[in-house]
Chains A and B, each alone.
Chain A
């Protein structure tokens, strides 16, 4: 029985960082689909229900992202292999920075839009969040637009991020993708 690597090592992400990464990936895919379907639904109860779940999941993601950032601060991510070109290195850092920014900005703009629409966020029916701003139809329209634009930017950046991981794995043939994948006994890159 091998010891479980909870924390990041010099060459691999630990189980906790990996769990944060993949859990947030899955939740964002669900979140995106829910938001898209809810937006296209006609006014009615189904829209209200789906939108309220979209809000609850959004706040869940916000909490996870904050916890993930805190963990990242306490637990330094593994350094990139020396073989990685400085340009790739910088663009990678930039992409990650924008990704984290979007992961925070999306739930916050969603929360702001809910406040502007005088429809406070209830977190899964357990906790009602305070309103961030006063109700205003014009602000709601504006923030709603911003929320949609940020979503489209996230989509583009996520595709770039995933493509870069593929590039590392199949073209550069380095360990950059594999270190975010669950390990198994006898893995060579320990």
Chain B
């Protein structure tokens, strides 16, 4: 009799914990090996740069999109395009103006499934004092027994003029393209 009651209790407990696992999205933090890069066109030729300092606070579960959130903070000072002169211009007042606006922030609370393992995050990106809607397309791989980290990978295309990045003489798209492709690959560990 006791055995049966115990069994029922365990069963209820298991059901409850499963239910809570479905409703919750695990919280992750970006680990070493994560990259945030961008591609732009300068004087007719494409080049790639990256941000070396960023902090990604990710809650995501394909089974609980409603409970998922992204919050990524990017230290604009950490821009690196392998060419010091260009990095200085990017940090300067015409581009990121890092003295006044040290951080860019991407936030999303709305998620959609595009197709199997492909998702869309509808969020906002803030650079300088401009906040604009930006959609990210990404794939997600949950942690498994072989690999304890999750992987989130995707891209977005933004127009730098929406954020006043590259004002003054730099506005002309002939010399510095307006379109910037942002790519990210996050290695995510479950937050302790």
Q: Which residues of B contact A44 (CB under 8 A)?
A: 89, 169
Residue of A nearest to B168 (CB): A45
Give the distance to chain B from A180, nearest Cβ to Cβ, in Å.
36
B85 at the interface (CB under 8 A from A): yes
Within 124-138 of A, Cβ neighbours of B (below 8 Å) are at 124-125, 128, 135-137
A-contact 0/1 string along B69-105, CB 8 Å cutoff: 0000000000001111110110000000000000000
Least distance between B190 CB and chain A CB atoms (Å): 35
- Residues on B with beta carbons closer than 8 Å to the beta carbon of A14: none
Contact A136 B169 (CB under 8 A): no
Q: Cα distance A45–B170 when bound, in Å?
A: 7
Q: Chain B: interface secondary structure?
A: mixed
Is A128 a contact partner of B42 (Cβ separation < 8 A)? no
**Interface residue A2 (Cβ < 8 Å from any Cβ of B):** no
| Chain A stretch 37-69: residues in CB contact (< 8 A) with chain B | 43-46, 48-49, 51-52
The answer to whether the Cβ of B4 comes within 8 Å of any Cβ in the partner chain is no
B contacts with A, residue count (CB < 8 A): 21
A48 to B174, CA, bound (A): 11
Q: Which residues of A contact B47 (CB under 8 A)?
A: 118-120
Report the interface size class on chain A: 20 to 34
Residue contact B83 to A48, C-beta cutoff 8 Å: no
Tell me if A117 is interfacial: C-beta within 8 Å of chain B. yes
With an 8 A cutoff between CB atoms, is B175 at the interface?
Answer: yes
Q: Which 9 A-B pairs have the closest CB atoms?
A: A122-B44, A135-B82, A52-B43, A118-B82, A120-B45, A125-B44, A122-B45, A45-B169, A117-B83
- The residues of A with any CB-CB pair to B shorter than 8 Å are 43-46, 48-49, 51-52, 117-122, 124-125, 128, 135-137, 140
Q: List 16 A-B contacts (CB under 8 A).
A: A43-B89, A45-B175, A48-B43, A48-B176, A49-B175, A52-B43, A117-B82, A117-B83, A118-B47, A118-B81, A118-B83, A119-B45, A119-B86, A135-B82, A137-B83, A140-B83
